[in-house]
Structure 1
Amino acid sequence: MASIKLSVERLTEGLYIKLPLQWTDHPFLLNHFKIKDHQQIRLIKNLGVKFVYLIPEKSDNKPLDPETPVEEMSDDESQFLDKQAEKLWQEKQCRITKLKNYKRKLQRCEKNFDRSMSQLRSIVGKIKSRPVTAIREAESLVEEMVDALMESDNVALHLMNDAKESEDIYFHSLNVAIMSMMLAKSSGMPASDIKTIALGALFHDMGKLKVPTAITRKTTPLTAPEENYLKLHTKYSLELANIAEDFPPAAKPILSQHHELLDGSGYPQQLTAKKIDLKAQLVSVVNAYDNLCHPQDPSKARIPYSALSYLFKNKKEQYNSDFMALLIRLMGVYPPGSVVQLSNQQLGLVISVNSESLLFPNVLLYDPSVPSNEAPILDLEESDLRIEQAIPPSKLPEKVYTYLNPRIRISYYFDPND
């Protein structure tokens, strides 16, 4: 939107302005906002700036006439204003401290995610030659993740870094395991069932390692023989699990049934609702969501918001409706990875959702006046802004896309809130 340079002497309530300052150089929550009262005008003038940028399209009022007399400020007003400015600075400092703590938590979460990914690669590498060792290591990984999940009632789901194309199967498996665990916890399942689900989800697609990469990475439509070959991965996954006698029998249906659909249109056995294992029904919902976000043809990838909407509107007859509703509650209306436009028209990237405040995720804001590695993260619960719409990353201007760096591969990890 076009902006106009405006003298601070012409400010009045209802004007939407942008400050010509760094985010850390003023006490306001954001660099641009609509002036709501006379006190804000006084605070802006006290910043020592001679002008601001006016955005007429977003303003409810017109600037004061240039000839408007300047009001003098009394000593009492000045002292009151100083106290208000100090209060705002303290609040902002608390926000900055909170932001630093949040980024540290995010770094810790990334580290745990990378460690889990490394362990999963190692496990898969041993599944044929040392199956018993692989299963034990997988159970140890699952135990650790479930313990972390169960130790807190308030769990945040964070957006992780990008995957390497060659490791899609590992990221997909860990992604499905993470979301399935959270879904199982949300549905009230005990820790023992969550561990079974996590183990099944980790191994659900491992049979694809026996399918030629020319098929698993093909981006054009598969031929009928190729599609039939790919569908054999459920059989191959089960065969890999059967190599290890210690693989829990309760997790095996997840491997063989995660593509079965309630209406009988799935594979490999065209099972209907009552014959499909409940844990497999749970994993299949999560698997479908992640596959919509990351299909074999990247050009057909849906943004998280669109993937959830598509499942809810078009697949109710095929997937367990209770688990689907829980997934939507778990991910929030705008899941991590969604590029969104806020009510002040500012753009941002949803980077985490708090299970206790689904409508108020944490959003990394696009603000060209701040370096991208220092971009402010806004907790919507603590602001008067709201999300107006989700935006496909492909529709973003290049400079916004570069700044927000929306993930091509959307992966999640959880972190219990302290």
Structure 2
Amino acid sequence: MASIKLSVERLTEGLYVKLPLQWTDHPFLLNHFKIKDQQQIRLIRNLGIRYVYLIPEKSDNPPLEPETEQEVISSQESKFLEQQAEKLWQEKQGRIARLKNYKRKLQRCEKNFNRSMAQLRSITGKIKSRPVTAIREAEMLVEEMVDALLESDNVALHLMNEGKENEDIYCHSLNVAVLSMMLARSCGMAHEDIKTIAMGALFHDMGKLKIPTAILRKTTPLTEPEENYLRMHTRYSTDLANLTADFPEDAKSILAQHHELLDGSGYPKQLQGDQITPMAQLVAVVNAYDNLCHPQDPARARIPYSALSYLFKHKKEAYNNDYLALLIRLLGVYPPGSVVQLSNQQLGLVISVNTDSLLYPNVLLYDPTVPSNEAPIIELEGSDLRIEQAIAPNKLPEKIYTYLNPRVRISYYFDPDD
């Protein structure tokens, strides 16, 4: 939008302005905002700047006339303004400190995610030749993940970097396991049941290792023989689990039934309703969500917001509605990975949802005046901003897309909030 250089003497309420300062050089939450009261005007004038940039299209009122007489500020009012500015500075410094702490936590979380990915890749490589060893290592991985999940009452779900090429099956399996574990936790399931669900979710697609890569990576519609071959992966997964007596028996239903649907339209046995185990019903919901975000044809990928909306509007008959509702509550209306437009028209990327504040995710803001590696992350709960809409990443201008770097592959991991 076009901006106009405007003297600070002409400021009035309702103007949308952009400060000619770095984000760290003023006490306001953002570099640009709509002026809401006289106190903000006085604070701006006290910054020692002679002008701001006015954005007329986003302003409610015209600026004051140039010759408007300025109100004289008393020493008492000046002292009050200094106190208010100091208060804003303290709040902002607190935000900056929380941002730094958040980024440290995200780095730790991403390190744990990458380690789990490497472990899963190693485990999968051993499943045929050393099944007992593979299952033992998988149980250790699951135990570690479940402990991390349960050790805190307040668990944040974070957006991870996209996986490397040719690791789709591992990214998907870890995604489904993480979200299924969190969904099971939300249901109040016991520790052992969460472990069983995690084992089933981690291995639900391992039968795809026996499916030709040409079929798995085909982006055009599969032929009927190809589709039938792909559907065999549920049986192959069960066959691999049966190579050892150590694979949890209850988890095998997840391998066999995660594509069965309540209305009988699924596969391989067209089971209906209660014929499908509750654990398989839970993983089926999560599996469907992640598959919508990452289909075989990337051109058909849905953004997280759209994927949840699609399941809610069109697949209520196919999936357990209680689990579907819980997944929506878990991820929030705008899940991590969603590009959103805020009420001030600023764009951002949802990077985490706190399970205690689902309506107020943490959003990384696009601000061209701030380097992308220092981009502010705003906690919507602590601001007067709200999300107005989700935006498909491919609709973004190139410079905004590059800045926000929305992931092609959306992966999740959790970290206890300590």
TM-score bucket of the superposed structures, by smaller chain: over 0.9
Match of 2:88 in 1: 88
Residues 122-180 of structure 1 deviation map (CA, whole Å, 9 limit, x = unaligned)? 10011111100000000000001001111111111000001123000000000000000
Give secondary structure in 2 for the equivalent of 1:368.
coil
Match of 1:234 in 2: 234
Separation of aligned partners in 2, 1:88 and 1:224: 64
- Equivalent residues in 2 for 1:10-409, closer than 5 Å: 10-409=10-409
Give secondary structure in 1 for the equivalent of 2:166.
helix
Give secondary structure in 2 for the equivalent of 1:141.
helix
> What's the CA shift for 1:90?
1.1
Residues 36-86 of structure 1 deviation map (CA, whole Å, 9 limit, x = unaligned)? 111111111111111111111211111000111233322212211111111
Give secondary structure in 2 for the equivalent of 1:53.
strand
- In structure 2, runs of 5+ residues without a counterpart are none
Match for 2:67: what amino acid?
Answer: E
Match for 2:109: what amino acid?
Answer: C
Identity %: 81
Separation of aligned partners in 1, 2:235 and 2:2: 59
TM superposition score normalised by structure 2: 0.99
Residues 271-329 of structure 1 deviation map (CA, whole Å, 9 limit, x = unaligned)? 11121111000000000000000000000000000000000000000000100000000
Match for 2:356: what amino acid?
Answer: E
Separation of aligned partners in 2, 1:74 and 1:334: 47
Match for 2:21: what amino acid?
Answer: L
Separation of aligned partners in 2, 1:183 and 1:72: 59
Match for 2:264: what amino acid?
Answer: G
Separation of aligned partners in 2, 1:236 and 1:357: 41
Residues 76-135 of structure 1 deviation map (CA, whole Å, 9 limit, x = unaligned)? 122111111111111111111111001111111001101100110110011111100000
Separation of aligned partners in 2, 1:221 and 1:48: 63
Give secondary structure in 1 for the equivalent of 2:179.
helix
Give secondary structure in 2 for the equivalent of 1:388.
strand
> What's the CA shift for 1:244?
1.4
Match for 1:328: what amino acid?
Answer: I
Separation of aligned partners in 2, 1:255 and 1:327: 20
Separation of aligned partners in 1, 2:407 and 2:271: 36
Separation of aligned partners in 1, 2:149 and 2:163: 23
Give secondary structure in 1 for the equivalent of 2:167.
helix
Separation of aligned partners in 2, 1:136 and 1:329: 33
Separation of aligned partners in 2, 1:61 and 1:208: 61
Separation of aligned partners in 2, 1:5 and 1:221: 55
Match for 2:262: what amino acid?
Answer: L
Question: What is the total number of aligned residue pairs between the two structures?
Answer: 418
Residues 177-232 of structure 1 deviation map (CA, whole Å, 9 limit, x = unaligned)? 00000000101111110000000000000000100000001111111111110000
> What's the CA shift for 1:398?
0.7
Give secondary structure in 2 for the equivalent of 1:149.
helix
Give structure 1 regions of 4+ aligned residues with deviation exceeding 6 angstroms.
Answer: none
CA-atom RMSD in angstroms: 0.7
Give secondary structure in 2 for the equivalent of 1:360.
coil
Residues 240-275 of structure 1 deviation map (CA, whole Å, 9 limit, x = unaligned)? 100111101110000010000111111001111121
TM superposition score normalised by structure 1: 0.99
Give secondary structure in 1 for the equivalent of 2:308.
helix
